[in-house]
Chain A
């Protein structure tokens, strides 16, 4: 049993956990959708349901697969899901995959860029705040940051639209691109500016404050004195030593932050009518479009779990302590295998 098998085993257990979580999630969502009060027939046919005869209703139920008991419906759904068929959208009357697939990219772009921007700015802000600890600068940033974090994101978005796109007419207020300009990069960027500002403002301080406090704790350690006597400059100490020491913390925070940021993306999308899965899930919740909502929940789950797995792996690559643990387990494993 060598090192590679240990890593492979680790990946496999993680994959198993991932699949189990997805199955559980899908069961929960499926039953919630079936227990919900809105009649799927109602949302599929609209008011036409009331004028249908009983026979027509039964046929309609059969066509939508609503006649079987719940667990059989679930098994049917999950076998179809493995073939990439997730049923019809009740609102759009086309397969949900077709509704969702063009929008995932948009959400990933918005979410990914804001994820990066938020963390880069958070680290920079944390360093500058920690460097000037307890000065006026630090205190003002702390107050402003807390305020920005607690202002509801949607209101911030609406106010920004009011100022920058309606009164000043600088930036577009909605959508991901102007009609017929989907390939125009500049146009896309223009549409990204306002949602990005909202995302950054409403998430930045939450993380910056955590990192700032971590850095401040780090400044109290003894190795700082040694570094200072060596003649390193403050900034050098922070970049070369402190930042490196808190890197695992930063990355593990980044790993668990993806649901938080994704949830923010949903609000930003809804405010700016940005065509992504967030705006779509708000809409599908409004119209009781459960097939669509289920797929969206599953996609969100996949996004969250994958990003946390990636962050965990990066964390292990960077943090020597974790590597040592891995080495220890490897040794243990080799020991065990020799005794077998």
Chain B
């Protein structure tokens, strides 16, 4: 029976060959295309150097070489010394630690507050939502630097934790708005309704449904908040309101910039600044990769 069955179907075509599509394994270089490789490499290099700062340095970053004040870059002090006689090369790596830690800590604070606030506002009823968004609007309309100045003057003497807290507390408004509008869209979907019908409480819905769906929309904001926080720290330190001079960070190194201008010692200004700027740009570039690109039609123009 089976044989006759098979005969009923005769293969036609001269050189019939079953077409098995080759499994395409994209080459390594193709897979990396469009991804921010250079940025990742540079960032990894900087972060690794900062982690292993202890093995890289050739001077004590916190000791004052009073005989070598304001020395330009040379073979002993690779990046020169500042007006207090500290070795800039060694300070760069230790300062990077503080700056990056501040960036990450502030990012965590910003994300936690922003996402929670946005989720609550997005899921609450219309009145509470309006009130919460109005509050964010008012806070957002105060210049951020002024808000920081107020907080700085309350808290007084700074350290790494305090400054991350200050930057985090003043930086979450934009994120909260984005999260809220995303949540508003998602919350009416059936699966959220189903989960609620099955008795899921707010935290469960937030954790299982809202956050995973919102992540792609906020990843860019979250990552670039690292770089904005680092920039904020350096700005505050430069203004003399951030980290004191003995807590080494890229910002507090730059707080000597005004003195360096008077003595025209460019390396005190340029070198920490270049490290800071490169790190900021690299992080932003990585963040940009995660940005939701809207697919555009061809232009009519």
Contact = CB atoms under 8 A, between A and B. Distances in A.
Interface of A: 21, 25, 29, 32, 35-38, 133, 146-147, 150-155, 158-159, 161-162, 166-167, 173, 216, 219-222, 224-225, 228, 234, 237-238, 256, 259-260, 262-263, 266-267, 270-271, 278, 281-282, 285-286, 288, 290, 293, 296-297, 300-301, 304-305, 308
Contacts of A237: 301
Given A36-B154, A155-B234, A155-B276, A300 B269 contact: no
Contacts of B270: 159, 162
Majority DSSP secondary structure for residues of B touching A: helix
Contacts of A154: 234-235, 238-239, 254
Given A152-B238, A155-B277, A297-B150, 8 more contacts: A21-B138, A37-B154, A152-B280, A154-B239, A162-B261, A167-B264, A282-B241, A286-B241
Interface in B247-301: 254, 257-258, 261, 264, 266, 269-270, 273, 276-277, 280-281, 284, 288, 296-297, 299-301
B156 interface: yes
Contact of B141 (A216, A256, A278): A256
A300 B143 contact: yes
Given A36-B154, A150-B281, A152-B276, A216 B254 contact: no
Contacts of A293: 149-150, 153
Given A263-B144, A270-B239, A286-B240, A228 B300 contact: yes
A38 B153 contact: yes
Contacts of A219: 299-301
A288 B153 contact: yes
B194 interface: no
B142 A301 contact: yes
A234 B241 CA distance: 51
A279 B270 CA distance: 23
Contacts of B258: 158
B41 interface: no
B145 interface: yes
Interface residues of B, number: 43
Contact of B277 (A152, A173, A282, A285): A152
Nearest to B143: A263
Contacts of B273: 152, 155, 158-159
A154 B253 CA distance: 13
Of listed A166, A222, A259, A301, residue having the most chain B CB within 10 A = A259
B69 interface: no
Contacts of A167: 264
A123 to B, nearest CB: 17
A36 B153 CA distance: 7
B284 A150 contact: yes
